[in-house]
């Protein structure tokens, strides 16, 4: 379920396909380990709590993120890292769209992760702003968080998704107010533009390469 690319710290986890992840790791400069997690149910495993579907022909979000995070941090990652051959000094988790939302949720709810990246994350998600504001006030965790969104994403036809640019900025403000190191980038274009390029910039920054 988890495959690794590269060897070095930090170890950053993403959900996706191993073939495209190899190119992504190369473009981000290497020098770190990319852990690629596959074989999941996106609408169940990456949704932190249940929510209505976004599109008429889509699926509802069943809210299995909490249980999945327990399994991921408590069993799947420790078992996979047993074969790494070195002990990770620092771990991160990053993702695009719904996986970007889950990355922030995992970061706030597991001591395993000290780095997080949400790239065009689904931060329009019902209840997210209330959640992150409360979580930021009660956490003593300090870490490094990257957030980005496309400037055209706020023009989505869907009423719920229109809030994503503002919600991403407000998420950064909440985390920054809690003492975390953050970077917000506003990219050109809509949600489906330059996914690999946006993820590359996220991983480069999280891995400590300040271009």
Query: How far is residue 196's CA from residue 199's CA, in Å, rounded to a whole number?
Result: 5
Residue 28, class by beta-carbon neighbours within 10 Å (0-12 exposed, 13-18 middle, 19+ buried)? buried
Q: What's the DSSP call for residue 73?
A: I
Please state, in angstroms and rounded to a whole number, the distance separating the CA atoms of residues 43 and 89: 31
Read off the pLDDT band of 194 (50, 70, 90). Answer: very high
Give the span between the Cα atoms of 156 and 164, in whole angstroms. Answer: 9
According to DSSP, the residues that pair with 15 across neighbouring strands are 37
Note the pTM of the prediction, 2 decimals: 0.96
Complete domains list, the chain, with CATH: 2-206 (3.40.50.1820)
Cis ω before 51 (30° cut-off from 0):
no
- At 209, the pLDDT band (50, 70, 90 cuts) reads low
Read off the pLDDT of each residue in 2-23 and give the average, rounded to a whole number. Answer: 95
Question: What are the structure tokens assigned to 55, written together?
Answer: 């599109």
In the predicted structure, residue 159 carries a pLDDT above the cut 90: no
User: 62-112, pLDDT tens digit by residue?
Assistant: 999 999 999 999 999 999 999 999 999 999 999 999 999 999 999 999 999
φ, ψ for residue 3 (rounded to 5)? -120, 145
């Amino acid at each position: 379920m988890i495959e690794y690319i590269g060897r070095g710290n930090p170890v950053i986890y993403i959900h996706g396909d191993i073939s495209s992840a190899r190119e992504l790791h190369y473009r981000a400069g290497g020098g770190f380990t990319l852990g690629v997690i596959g074989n999941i149910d996106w609408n169940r495993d990456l949704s932190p709590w249940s929510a209505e579907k976004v599109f008429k022909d889509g699926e509802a979000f069943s809210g299995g993120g909490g249980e999945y995070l327990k399994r991921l941090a408590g069993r799947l990652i420790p078992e996979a890292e047993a074969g790494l051959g070195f002990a990770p000094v620092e771990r991160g988790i990053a993702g695009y769209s719904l996986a970007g939302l889950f990355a922030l949720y995992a970061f706030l709810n597991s001591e395993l992760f000290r780095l997080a990246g949400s790239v065009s994350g689904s931060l329009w998600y019902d209840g997210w702003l209330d959640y992150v504001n409360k979580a930021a006030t009660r956490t003593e965790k300090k870490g490094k968080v990257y957030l980005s969104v496309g400037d055209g994403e706020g023009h989505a036809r869907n009423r719920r998704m229109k809030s994503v640019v503002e919600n991403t900025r407000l998420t950064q403000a909440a985390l920054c107010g809690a003492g975390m190191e953050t970077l917000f980038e506003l990219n050109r274009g809509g949600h489906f533009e330059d996914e690999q390029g946006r993820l590359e910039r996220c991983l480069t920054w999280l891995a400590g390469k300040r271009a």
